Structure 1
Amino acid sequence: MEIMKIAAIAIGGVIMASIVKHFKPELSLYVALATVMVIFLMALDKLTAVFQFLENIYGQMTYGKDFFPIIVKVLVVAYLADFTSQLCKDAGEGAIGSKVELAGKIIIFYLSMPILFAILELINSIL
């Protein structure tokens, strides 16, 4: 199973970062970042399969095609903002991580405005 490989890499990275921290504390961050990037690249393979699945669903949709790309963009922004925020916090830069989260939320709200507008138009037409 893929998660077993990821867990093994994560545990190995934590152990290596802990060992390196005792000798060269400034290098332990790079060990952690390299571990995170390897894990991310392993998950990226599965992510491409998810996007292919979403592309197939999009091709079969008859209603809501205008909103589907917006929802996908929102998901991408949410995952990237969370991933980047966690990296910043792991590096000891919690303030930067918090601002990345805030920026992600603002961008998600901005991206979702057409959906909100469509809902308000629908409500207005019903009333």
Structure 2
Amino acid sequence: MEIIQVVGLGLLVTVLVLIIKEQKPMFAFLLTAFTGIMIFLFLIGKISSVIQVLEDLAVQSGVNMVFLKTILKIIGIAYIAEFGAQIVRDAGLESVASKIELSGKILIMVMAIPIVTVIIETVLNLLPT
């Protein structure tokens, strides 16, 4: 039932931000950013347990841990870039948010190169010569 706590906090902050925004827009933005960070910290435990389960499955199946760690880093980049872009978007800076998202996509592409290389090599080895 953690989602009820997250939604409740979100609704409470929304009401506060709407009230504060008229008088002190900077405080409204800071409250929004702080709430996003608090929700993220609230979910860290859940994220770490999911990562632990994935690592256990990778060990049991014999998957190379380098691939799993790379995929987890890619997922982390995607979430962090999205989170940062949303905070910047809340501040009204759409162009900066777009640049953050573009940077995240480029970093994901760079991190994915070793995995794509292994996939291509595997496919080429399966083809008859």
Question: Common fold, TM-score beyond 0.5?
Answer: yes
Alignment match, 1:72: 72
RMSD: 1.4
TM-fit CA distance, 1:65 = 3.5
For residues 28 and 22 of structure 1, the distance between their equivalents in structure 2, rounded to whole angstroms, comes to 9
Are the aligned partners of 2:58 and 2:64 in contact in 1 as well (CA < 8 Å)? no
Alignment match, 1:3: 3
Letter in 2 for 1:100: I
1:47 lines up with 2:73 in the alignment: no
Alignment match, 2:86: 86
Percent of aligned positions that are identical:
32
Alignment match, 1:26: 26
For residues 103 and 122 of structure 1, the distance between their equivalents in structure 2, rounded to whole angstroms, comes to 29
For residues 24 and 67 of structure 1, the distance between their equivalents in structure 2, rounded to whole angstroms, comes to 47
For residues 83 and 119 of structure 1, the distance between their equivalents in structure 2, rounded to whole angstroms, comes to 30
Alignment match, 1:15: 15
Letter in 1 for 2:20: V
For residues 71 and 7 of structure 2, the distance between their equivalents in structure 1, rounded to whole angstroms, comes to 30
Report runs of 4+ in structure 1 exceeding 2 Å deviation: 63-66
Are the aligned partners of 2:55 and 2:68 in contact in 1 as well (CA < 8 Å)? no
What is the DSSP-based 3-state SS (H/G/I as helix, E as strand, rest coil) of the residue aligned with 2:62?
Answer: coil
Q: Which runs of 5+ in 2 are unaligned?
A: none
1:59 lines up with 2:59 in the alignment: yes
Letter in 2 for 1:43: L
TM-fit CA distance, 1:42 = 1.2
TM-fit CA distance, 1:64 = 4.0
Q: TM-score, normalized by length of structure 2? A: 0.90
For residues 36 and 65 of structure 2, the distance between their equivalents in structure 1, rounded to whole angstroms, comes to 35
What is the DSSP-based 3-state SS (H/G/I as helix, E as strand, rest coil) of the residue aligned with 1:66?
Answer: helix
For residues 121 and 34 of structure 1, the distance between their equivalents in structure 2, rounded to whole angstroms, comes to 46
Letter in 1 for 2:11: I
What is the DSSP-based 3-state SS (H/G/I as helix, E as strand, rest coil) of the residue aligned with 2:119?
Answer: helix
